[in-house]
Amino acid sequence: MGKIKPHLIEIGVFLLVVFLLCMGAHSRNRLWNDEIGIWIDCAGKSPNKARPYVNLGFAYFNAGAYDKSLEMAKKAIEIDPKSAYAYYVLSLAFQKMGNLNEAIAMAKKSLEIDPDLNMTRYSLGMLYFENGQHAEAEEAFNKFIRVFPFFPEVHQYLAVVYAAQKEFDKAIPEFEWELRINPRNILPHLNLGQIYWYEFRNREKALYHLKVALALDPLFPNRKAIQKLVRTLEGFSS
């Protein structure tokens, strides 16, 4: 069989889709309705404290009521302008409402107030990546990893940041780190399989990771394309 040309555009799109799939979604169920009721009651009993409004804002966020989340976080900031958590909630809500620049600004403000609020740094890395600011995303994720090296999925996100910048030699160890944390995560396998083949022409490693992904999850999206690639590699001769 003749030489197969690398599909750099295709792999880039695939990696981006994988990244977005990893982000997940917050559920809107009865649990969050109960949480909202609890924090409405707390805010009513302690109207001069910022924390109940922060928690209410977060509950509204998880319920998908982003406008109410913004309202409660702003109320918390009126009470306590130094509430790093309130700015964090603002950042989350602005992101969901599509205002990435404001979301980034609020996350940075949160970290100015409390540099040790690592959940904000994690979120900031996601925001930078979504906004196409890869170098900034790389820095944010690396700072987070120094504190929480075994936090699920953060190595995977950092790997995708590297891959988006075509730094595949840096992406590989991060995907491998993620597999040490969660060996049943198919996304690092899928990405490693494609990177090893399209970028490094390593047929053996590519086949290993692609086959593991196929074995781990029989229902993942784009399965037929991966099966086709596996069949191609199995019949490939250099």
CA distance 21 to 76: 32
Going by C-alpha positions, the residue among 82, 147, 102 that lies closest to residue 121 is 147
Going by C-alpha positions, the residue among 112, 110, 78 that lies closest to residue 94 is 110
The residue behind tokens 């690592």 is 118
CA distance 204 to 198: 12
The count of residues in the chain is 238
Domains of the chain as residue ranges with CATH: 8-234 (1.25.40.10)
CA distance 188 to 234: 21
R_g (Cα) of the chain, nearest Å: 21
pLDDT in tens, the chain (238 residues): 444 444 444 444 455 545 554 444 444 444 446 889 898 989 999 999 999 999 999 999 999 999 999 999 999 999 999 999 999 999 999 999 999 999 999 999 999 999 999 999 999 999 999 999 999 999 999 999 999 999 999 999 999 999 999 999 999 999 999 999 999 999 999 999 999 999 999 999 999 999 999 999 989 888 999 999 999 999 975 4
What backbone phi and psi angles, to 5 degrees, belong to 29? -140, -175
CA distance 119 to 95: 15
> Own/partner pairs for 6-11, CB < 8 Å, 24+ apart?
6/198, 6/199, 7/198, 8/166, 8/198, 11/163, 11/194, 11/195, 11/198, 11/199
